[in-house]
């Protein structure tokens, strides 16, 4: 049952569940599990891994996430190659021939959804709604649809709608906008000095009023909003996401073990919840860290239960 779970999402170490991981899942009951390339060796193996997870929770709809963006972020690359299908590829197609874009993206999202569903994966962490910026770090780069926030927004809406029609949940990222970051938040803490008015018109724009079940935060300091805290740890930024960007569903942190967050795993977890994140994401599968995140994650509240139940309805 959803109400018995804790408000975190965990990664796993390898291609099959260890005895320690089985006990961990049974005891701490994370809200969901995220799959990475290290967890994937073959079609049959991945099917077994996900079935084993779902059996523990006795829930066919148990949230299983994956980053299957296409392009550089292609977790299923051992099974098939989607490296040509970057965000930039779809953005360029949209600008060149909008009818061709709708055709291509409809087919692409349908096929990706079919493959994910065949494994029991039900959440894809797309679309990337970060606006591409000149002179910014290439961690986003061609993962972005375009330099124009209106184009990014329109493609993002279509992506959400198509995956939802195909019974896959989506995650808008990296809210409220990663495009101006000059360093990679996996390694350092990006600091964005741009004024709110410009951010609001450009970087925040594609995220506004999106009917998406989930959003993932950016580990970025927006100096004009909060000089001291990344978005993940900032009550001010989370309030902005709720009230100005108008996102009303579940907010998850980006990976809590990234170097863009400067505290211990325990503090990173606590601060994310204190700021207003609903779910904390931990990706690397390191068991000691998993335990710390689990112990510092509260049980899911009524808001999470309600929103999860709404998400489950699209899966049936």
Q: What pLDDT digit, counting tens, does each position of 258-278 carry?
A: 988 999 999 999 999 999 999
> What's the rounded Cα separation, in Å, for the pair 44 and 48?
6
Tally the C-alpha atoms within 13 A of residue 42's C-alpha that lie toward its C-beta.
Answer: 3
> What is the predicted pLDDT for the residue at 200?
97
The values of phi and psi at residue 253, to 5°, are -70, 155
Q: What gap in Å lies between CA 60 and CA 63, rounded to an integer?
A: 9
Residue whose token pair is 């970025």:
220
CA angle 166, 167, 169 (to 5 degrees): 115
Residue 24 has which token pair? 């961990």
* Whole-structure pTM value: 0.97
Q: For residue range 21-30, list pLDDT tens digits in order.
A: 999 999 999 9
- Residue 189 phi/psi, 5-degree rounding, is -95, 110
* Cis peptide bond upstream of 304, omega within 30: no
Q: Rounded to whole angstroms, how far apart are CA atoms 113 and 163? A: 7
The pLDDT of 217-227, averaged and rounded, is 97
Q: Which helix or strand (DSSP H or E) is residue 161 part of?
A: helix 149-165
252 compared with 134, residue with greater pLDDT: 252
Rounded distance between C-alpha atoms, residue 10 and residue 30, angstroms: 7
- pLDDT at residue 1, as a whole number: 84
pLDDT digits (tens, 9 = 90+) for 166-219: 999 999 999 999 989 888 888 889 999 999 999 999 999 999 999 999 999 999
Q: Is the pLDDT of residue 136 over 80?
A: no
């Amino acid at each position: 049952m959803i109400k018995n779970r804790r408000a975190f999402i965990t990664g796993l170490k390898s291609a099959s569940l260890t005895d320690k991981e089985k006990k961990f899942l049974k005891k701490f009951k994370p809200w969901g599990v995220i799959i990475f390339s290290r967890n994937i060796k073959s079609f049959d193996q991945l099917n077994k891994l996900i079935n084993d997870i779902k059996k523990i929770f006795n829930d066919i709809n148990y949230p299983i996430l994956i980053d299957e963006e296409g392009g550089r972020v292609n977790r299923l690359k051992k099974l098939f190659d989607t490296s040509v299908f970057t965000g930039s590829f779809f953005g360029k197609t949209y600008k060149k021939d909008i009818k061709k874009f709708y055709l291509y993206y409809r087919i692409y999202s349908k096929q990706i959804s079919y493959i994910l569903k065949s494994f029991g994966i039900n959440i894809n962490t797309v679309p990337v709604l970060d606006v591409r910026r000149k002179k910014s770090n290439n961690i986003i780069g061609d993962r972005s649809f375009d330099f124009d926030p209106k184009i990014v927004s329109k493609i993002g809406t279509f992506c959400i709608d198509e995956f939802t029609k195909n019974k896959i949940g989506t995650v808008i990222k990296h809210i409220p906008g990663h495009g101006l970051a000059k360093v990679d938040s996996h390694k350092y803490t990006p600091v964005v000095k741009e004024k709110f008015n410009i951010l609001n018109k450009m970087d925040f724009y594609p995220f506004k009023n999106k009917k998406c079940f989930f959003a993932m935060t950016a580990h970025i300091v927006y100096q004009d909003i909060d000089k001291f805290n990344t978005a993940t740890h900032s009550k001010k930024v989370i309030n902005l996401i709720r009230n100005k960007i108008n996102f009303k569903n579940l907010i998850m942190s980006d990976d809590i073990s990234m170097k863009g967050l400067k505290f211990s795993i325990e503090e990173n977890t606590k601060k994310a919840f204190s700021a207003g994140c609903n779910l904390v994401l931990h990706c690397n599968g390191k068991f000691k860290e998993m335990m710390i995140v689990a112990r510092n994650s509260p049980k899911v509240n009524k808001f999470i239960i309600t929103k999860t139940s709404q998400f489950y309805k699209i899966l049936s």
